[in-house]
Structure 1
Amino acid sequence: MKRFLIQAAGLFCAVLHSGLISSQNITPAILQKYWSASWITVPGAPPNGYGVYLFRKTIELASQPATFVVHVSADNRYKLFVNEKLVSLGPVRGDLQHWHYETLDLAPYLKSGKNSIAAQVWNEAEWRPEAQISLQTAFIVQGATEALNVINTNSSWKCQRDSSYTPLRVAIPGYYVTGPGELVQLAKQAKNWQSLDFPDGDWKSAKTIFSGNPKNIQGQYGTPYGWMLIPSTLPQMEFKAERFAKVAKVQGIEIPAGFPNTKVDLNIPANTIATILLDQGYLTNAYPALQFSGGKDGSISLQYAEALFSKSPNKGNRNEVEGKQMIGRKDSLFADGSSNQTFTTLNFRTYRYVQLRIITKGETLTLHDISGNFTGYPFQLNSSLNTENTEIQKMLEIGWRTARLCAVETYMDCPYYEQLQYIGDARIQALVSLYNSGDERLLRQALDQMDQSRQPEGVTLSRHPSYTPQYIPTFSLWYIGMLHDYSRYGKDIVFVKNKLSGMRQILDYFRGFQAADGSLHDVPYWMFTDWVTAKDWVAGRGPLSKDGSSAMLDLQLLWAYQLAADLETKLGIKESAGIYQARALQLKKTIQSKYWDASKGLYADRMEKDLFSQHTNSLAILTGMLAPEQLAPLGKKLISDTNLAPASIYFKYYLHQALVKAGMGNDYLKWLDKWRENIQMGLSTWAETSELNTSRSDCHAWGSSPNIEFFRTLLGIESDGLNFSKVKIQPHLGEIKKISGSIPHPNGALAVSYEWVQNKWNIQVDLPGKTTGNLMWKGKILPLKSGVNKFVL
């Protein structure tokens, strides 16, 4: 493990760039036939109990190979080492019908002669994260060709249970489902077990379970079983070394200069209790890494938190530590007294603050280093925004950090508490990815996984993968919105076409709960809209009429019909488009007659017309319920009417789009007070809810919508056709006199600049090849061609 600490950051960079093989290059035999490799486990190990297991095999090669491609997976998780170097973590989470394997080229890590292949595999059993689906403890490696079958998992592999690990229960208020802490007794660990010369003669021969079988297996009576294997389409996760910024508080010991920002020895004398509160300076996802010597029978614990608590659930300013307490996930280890002991966690931890507590017995413990290794999906920031407005830059920075921490092998609502991929969150996260990076792979996987979660009755699950199914039917409607977004901004229209049947099934599901007038009634499960504390809002579901109907639910369904009709029309499927257009027209008439209050100039939340919200009226604008002359008055009421139930930081994504459609886009920067409050409260990421003092999660990417709107609303860059083939540029600059920026586009980079000079605007729009569009400027429509377009207006 010492080598892991020293080499991991550079190694993962190598894996990211040279080790991963495209799933398109996998041979047909791997994709369609039973593998010659078997799933293996440790003999006598409980199939579904908690445990950490070690597997190893020595292979001999006549020379260093030019390529050595393998396919690797495990249940629950694995770390794969080649000649002591960590080369892969996985697998990407999925479900049993879609179990991922990574495809890697091990050649850069192999040599002539003997080579050590080793894997650490663990099953957290009943402690496992909610996002982790499982069958039983198992591991598999398959050579890509018959010539590479020497590496295949079978009984020739040696194995042993690592008895040093015990799960630590987590006591955190609220919904926490991301796994246990670890209690590790280093004296029980096998030293250097990944090395070539490790004596494994007394290790057991691995027990085979059954052959690996791909999901799309051909023949064999159509009865695949167990893990139905599919290739991962994702790259390896990023892995980057991080240092803690400072010591925020210390008790029981003197801290040497430079600690912890630089590597310096910290001696904890015998019979001492030392408590050190470390501040990363910002929230991060990282594998903590410790290196220390001595301290036999002493203990070290690491406790992790996004923020400290004055008294749960109150957090206050996240920069403040005095008078506050640590509540969070914890790892503990017992030292064995040897030199250069090391520790890192099985899975990453999310933290800004880490409380390090060291208790020594009769021997001094020397802490050589403590640091972290950041991990996350390897998004590259390919957008830019140039402005003298430092607040915009700060918000972009925080939004991008938030989006990155909520994206690892899937999109996640939050990295600390849940790590679950919800559709409502992912729709916003997807556009953040496209506008800021252009990398579509995680987005397409999310759409695949949501489609795969669809139940026999037609509705998708609210989140997937998830060990416990959860139904939020409104999120199925947002799935249609997310698919429509991808059709406009993404590259692959064939991918979209293959999802249309699932979209139709979702709408058929809702059809079963529509009355004769089209209004929804008594839809089961959790009809969540937003986290709102207002009259008759129940657990995020808006007010219902006496007959069980709801304006905001009817409007969400209307929007889904409209988007489905638009997709079907643009893809040339006129019959289906006509069906959805007719349903939308009927529902639109019902909404108008049932919920419009002419005296107030507002749409009510329910037919009794006693409650009103920003949500219902935002959706009314976005679905085209109003005539053009009605938009501005309603938009102004959305801002000024304090009787409306307010949108949270999440639903402001839709509120702001409605205000822009109402002609108020020049005021966009005036609508960001909630984000300003986050900054003032010391957050380095956007909180889950608008009540910042008590917000459970300090990192929810659904709050990163400014990372879309600074480009879409402020700079005015928007798609105006399938695959972003046509562009609409309609800026809303407000008081800004000079600004420029660019975003990634399927055909290249797309850049704009605006500058007010001598009472005229100098405007330049640079479109990538094969792309046209229009500049919308004060009622004028000015055509744009590929290349450089310049205007003086």
Structure 2
Amino acid sequence: MSNNTLFPSAEAQWIWVDNFDDAAASGQFVLFRKTFELDKNNDVLPSTSTTPIPLHVTADTRYRLFLNGKSVSFGPCKSYLQHWIYETVDIRPYLRPGRNVLAAMVLRYSSTHPGCLSMVRSSVPGFLLATNIGDLVIHTDTSWKAKKNTSVQIAADSEWDPRFGPQFLGINERVDGRLTLTGWQSVDYNDTDWPAAVKSSPTRSNSPMLDPRRLFPREIPALTEDFGRFDGVLPVPDESTVNAWTKMLRGGNEDTCVEIPAHTTLAVVVECEKLMTAFVDLECAFTSSGDVVTPSIELLYSECFEATMEDGKPRTKADRTDHKNGVLYGSRDVYIPHGHGLNHYSPFWWRTFRYVRLTISTASDPLYITSFTFRSTYFPLNVTTTITTSSSFITRLWDVSLHTLRSCMHETYEDCPYYEQNQFIMDSRSQILFTYLVSRGEDRLARKTMQEFAASQRSDGLLETYFPNRGGSISIPTFSLYWVLMVHDHMVYMGDEHLVRRYLGRVDNILNYFDDRIDPEYGLVGAFDSDSWPYVDWVQGWFTPGLAIRGVAVPPAYYRYKKNGKSGGCATFHSLLYAYTLIKAAELCVFLGRHDTASEYLTRHSKIVSSVQKHCYDVSSAFFLDGLIHVVGPDSPKSQHVQIFAVLAGCVENTEAQTLMRRTILERAEHGLAKASFSLAFYLFRAASEAVW
């Protein structure tokens, strides 16, 4: 049995190419085609009607759909197996009398390879489509043509530079234009030698097993694809080269193309004034003289210029626009043009860049770059909030903040559009709050985010740290508390009783996880499970050797308290964040009239606060310590983090809270308080506001 009952067409079949080896590479591309005829007098054509003709489409893993050579849909929207998304698009504007063709390119990430961590895939690849054009019913079945696209390869893992850290994406391409099936999206293309598609499903006849992909319509709007031009080219020794590239980038006519002479290797860096998430579009041409050696173009996408990492030097970013002293590092696409007219290269997935370095090598023939542009892609955020200020700094800060938010809003919120493109709970909470602020009533991506994390809840009550993902990841327990705060934020800004009621059970499960780990001796949150990462913040000096990633970004006090020969936890931050979340969870319960549960949460909160005051406050310094005072002593490391949440959780109030926050901010260095990072600084402002209020 399939889950197509949730898809608008029960007849549509998941299809694929025959004899496909899913384990052959981390990612592979497959092409599909279906031609059909429309009579010129058909009343569904755009000239006779404007009524939408919906087409529903999805794929495992990603697709781009064309109708008569025009791109009409790109997806499916990121989600997870039990909530697999299909898109619906109006195809009427693209239809024409006579012969029409639907064509799709599908990127399949292997189910046996880690590949792109933010791209979920099932055990079986597939493409699924259905539409009714008047009386004509079109859906995917074995009448479609399917062919593997051998011209595009996903770059091998070995090509990744490990100095960047782990390889999260794996999206870069090696494209041989000589193997490209030119015009395969068009009506006139001859596909008679393409084999028929085959059914692709993990289900069996008369079996109660369902396809793991449970289909749902897309909840958020399609991403933008807006035309854009680069802002310039960085100086190279030859001024005429700069002038030629500048004219080409600005566009105009055919006389603006750039000629790269034969037997030449040229590196040119083009720039944007701000970071972009976009599909680049490169057009070039050359006339082949028949040589075996052909030109090649490498595109390196980089966030910034930085200090060299050669000879084992650590990564250092200072002036990120210093092209005179800095070096560009980044991920790379490689394109080999063909010698038969105009070439066009655009990556299947969008890239993130401030700078793009093109390294062009020619053979015995010159190569002509005729155009280099991009299509920026973001969630279509409608900004309704404006600010007016006499401070040029605040104005610039506002503009940068808005652009940063947009750059991390696509089909999910993202911690980083460049390296990971993963949706983390803590990051997403801050991004969602800013979304509420700048766009009145906009909560579509926020709702999707909350729903996805809710669906990731584990048997122990915690949520996945980042989600969607193609498998379990190391758990950061406190991130689940930020999800509770996320639900509370939505209550405050949107007042949706149904949403709060839907998630209150999951809130209770999360809070019970922390309650189950209260140390009976000290009344504080003790040690987490050994496969967890007790992450708090990226702080210089927060490193405990011998624990790999679990020893990084964790207050050392967490590992100093030993119980039964193992870490006993009891880091003050974990208890305070739990206590603060209990306050907000109680407010959720009051909102729904569940006062008994609210009272229970507040009782837990009071106990935690009392324990922190008793075991973690140093009278001599008048600061809260990062851990138990009898374990770490009065000279224990202290942090802004603990003082922030001591105020937010109500450990100190009124003038005491004001004094603590004033000293936390103004006397941080004097008292050796670890500094909160940019992301935790948000909570510093909240605590300062709470203290003043």
Same fold (TM over 0.5): yes
Whether 1:340 aligns to 2:342 is yes
Would you say how many aligned residue pairs link Structure 1 and Structure 2? 631
What code does the residue aligned with 2:73 have? S
**Offset at residue 380 of structure 1 (A):** 1.6
Asked if 1:171 corresponds to 2:129, the answer is no
Q: For 1:623, which of 649, 653, 670 is the aligned residue? A: 649
- Distance in 2 (CA, whole Å) between partners of 1:353 and 1:295 is 29
- The answer as to whether partners of 1:35 and 1:142 remain within 8 angstroms in 2 is no
Q: Tell me if the contact between 1:311 and 1:324 (Cα under 8 Å) persists in the aligned partners.
A: yes
Gaps spanning 5+ residues in structure 2: where? 45-50, 289-293, 310-314, 545-550, 562-567
Partners of 2:173 and 2:237 lie apart in 1 by 24
Pair 519,149 (structure 1): closer, same or farther in 2 beyond 3 Å: farther
Q: Report if aligned partners of 2:99, 2:187 keep a CA contact under 8 Å in 1.
A: yes
Determine whether 1:159 maps to 2:161.
no
Deviations along 1:334-353, whole A, 9 cap, x unmatched? Answer: 11112211010010111111
What is the aligned partner in structure 2 of residue 526 from structure 1? 533
SS of 2:377's equivalent? strand
The one of 458, 461, 481 aligned to 1:458: 461
Partner of 1:575: 596
Q: 1:40 matched to which residue of 2?
A: 15
- Note if contact 2:518-2:524 (Cα within 8 Å) is conserved in structure 1: yes
Inter-partner Cα distance in structure 2 for 1:486 and 1:148: 45
The question of whether the paired residues in 2 share the 8 Å contact of 1:513 and 1:522 is answered with yes
Seen in structure 2, the aligned counterparts of structure 1 residues 33 and 356 have a Cα distance that, compared at 3 Å, is closer
- Contact 2:31–2:106 under 8 Å retained in 1: yes
| SS in structure 1 at match of 2:327 | coil
The answer to whether the 8 A contact 2:647-2:653 is kept is no
Mapped contact 1:248–1:278 kept (Cα < 8 A):
yes
Deviations 1:42-71 (A, max 9, x none): 111213443111101012234252332122
Q: Deviations over 1:668-705 (max 9, x none)?
A: xxxxxxxxxxxxxxxxxxxxxxxxxxxxxxxxxxxxxx
2:660 to 634, 641, 655: 634
Contact 2:653–2:691, Cα closer than 8 Å, also in 1: no
Shift of 1:123: 1.8
* Residue 34 (structure 2) aligned to one of 48, 57, 70: 57
Question: 1:260 matched to which residue of 2?
Answer: 249
Q: Secondary structure at the match of 2:249?
A: coil
* SS of corresponding position for 1:530: coil
Q: 1:31 maps to what in 2?
A: 6
Deviation by residue 1:224-268 (Cα, 9 ceiling, x = unmatched): 223121222011101111111111143677241524233520011
Counterpart in the other structure of 2:409: 407
Q: Which amino acid aligns with 2:534?
A: M
Q: Following TM superposition, by how much is the alpha carbon of 1:146 offset from its aligned partner in structure 2, in angstroms?
A: 10
What runs of 5+ residues in structure 1 fail to find an aligned partner?
1-27, 214-219, 665-793
Deviation for aligned residue 1:138: 3.3
Show the counterpart of 2:626.
605
Given the alignment of the two structures, is residue 648 of structure 1 paired with residue 672 of structure 2, yes or no? no
Query: 2:334 aligns to what SS in structure 1?
Result: strand
Cα separation, partners in 2 of 1:574 and 1:34, compared to 1, 3 Å: farther
The 5-angstrom pairing of residues 65-464 of structure 1 reads 65=44, 66-125=51-110, 126=113, 128-136=115-123, 138-143=125-130, 150-168=137-155, 169-173=159-163, 174-210=165-201, 223-250=209-236, 254-255=241-242, 256=244, 258-263=247-252, 264-294=256-286, 296=288, 297-312=294-309, 313-438=315-440, 439-464=442-467
8 A Cα contact 2:519 2:570, kept in partner: no
- What do the CA deviations read for 1:111-137 (whole angstroms, capped 9, x no partner)? 333221110101243363111121256
Residue 31 of structure 1 and its aligned partner are, at CA, apart by 2.6
Secondary structure of the residue that 2:93 maps to in structure 1?
helix
Alignment-mate amino acid for residue 239 of structure 1:
E
Q: CA deviation at 1:378?
A: 0.9
1:574-602 deviations in whole A, cap 9, x for unaligned? 22212212111211211111112222222
Q: What is the deviation of 1:514?
A: 1.2
Residue pair 2:527, 2:569 contacting (<8 A) in 1 also: yes
Deviations 1:454-485 (Å, cap 9, x if unpaired)? Answer: 11111101000122422111000111011101
Determine the C-alpha separation between the residues in 2 that align with 1:393 and 1:110: 46
Of 577, 580, 598, which residue of structure 2 is paired with 1:556? 577
Distance 2:208 2:432 in 1: 36
Inter-partner Cα distance in structure 2 for 1:509 and 1:548: 15
CA distance in 2 between counterparts of 1:286 and 1:437 reads 23
Match of residue 716 from structure 1: none
Is the partner of 1:499 in helix, strand or coil?
helix
Query: CA–CA distance in 1 between the matches of 2:461 and 2:658?
Result: 38
Return closer, same or farther for 1:495/1:225 CA change in 2, 3 Å cut-off: same
**Matching residue of 2:548:** none
> Per-residue displacement from partner, 1:622-678 (whole Å, max 9, x unpaired)?
1111131212211111112221111011110101111122229xxxxxxxxxxxxxx
1:399-433 deviations in Å (ceiling 9; x for gaps): 11111111111000001100000001000000111
User: Aligned letter for 2:35?
Assistant: T
Aligned match of 1:566: 587
Question: What does residue 312 of structure 2 align with?
Answer: none
Quote the offset at 1:210 in angstroms.
3.1
How well do the aligned residues superpose, as a CA RMSD in angstroms?
A: 2.3
Quote the offset at 1:164 in angstroms.
0.6
* 1:136 to 1:343, Cα distance in 2 relative to 1, 3 A: farther
Is this contact kept in 1: 2:640–2:674, CA < 8 A?
Answer: yes
Following superposition, the deviation at residue 145 of structure 1 comes to 6.3
Q: How far apart in 2 are the matches of 1:634 and 1:585?
A: 20
Which residue type is aligned with residue 533 of structure 1? Q
**CA 1:270/1:204 → structure 2, altered by over 3 Å: closer, same or farther?**
same
**1:167 CA displacement:** 2.3
How do 1:651-662 residues align onto structure 2 when only pairs under 5 Å count? Answer: 651-662=680-691
1:238 aligns to what SS in structure 2?
A: coil
Q: Residue 494 of structure 2 is aligned with which of 484, 490, 494?
A: 490
Per the TM alignment, residue 295 of structure 1 is displaced from its structure 2 partner at its CA by 5.4
Q: Is the 8 A contact 1:64 1:110 kept in 2?
A: no
- Give the direction of change, closer, same or farther, for the CA distance of 1:211–1:536 in structure 2 (3 Å limit): closer
Deviations 1:715-753 (A, max 9, x none): xxxxxxxxxxxxxxxxxxxxxxxxxxxxxxxxxxxxxxx
Q: For the Cα contact (< 8 Å) 2:86–2:218, is it kept in 1?
A: yes
> Could you tell me which amino acid in structure 1 is paired with residue 345 of structure 2?
F
Given that 1:277 and 1:355 are in contact with CA atoms closer than 8 Å, whether structure 2 keeps it comes out as yes
Residues 408 and 64 of structure 1, relative CA distance in 2, 3 Å threshold:
farther
Amino acid of the residue matched to residue 104 of structure 2?
A: A
User: Partner of 1:719 in structure 2?
Assistant: none
Contact 1:562 1:580 in 2 (8 A): yes
Query: Cα–Cα, structure 1 residues 558 and 144, in superposed 2: closer, same or farther, change >3 Å?
Result: farther
* Aligned-pair identity (%): 28
Residue aligning to 1:540 = 553
**Code of the aligned partner of 1:451:** A
CA contact (8 A) 1:304 1:329 kept: yes
Q: 1:536 to 1:307 in 2, by over 3 A?
A: closer
Aligned to 1:509, what secondary structure does the other structure show?
A: helix
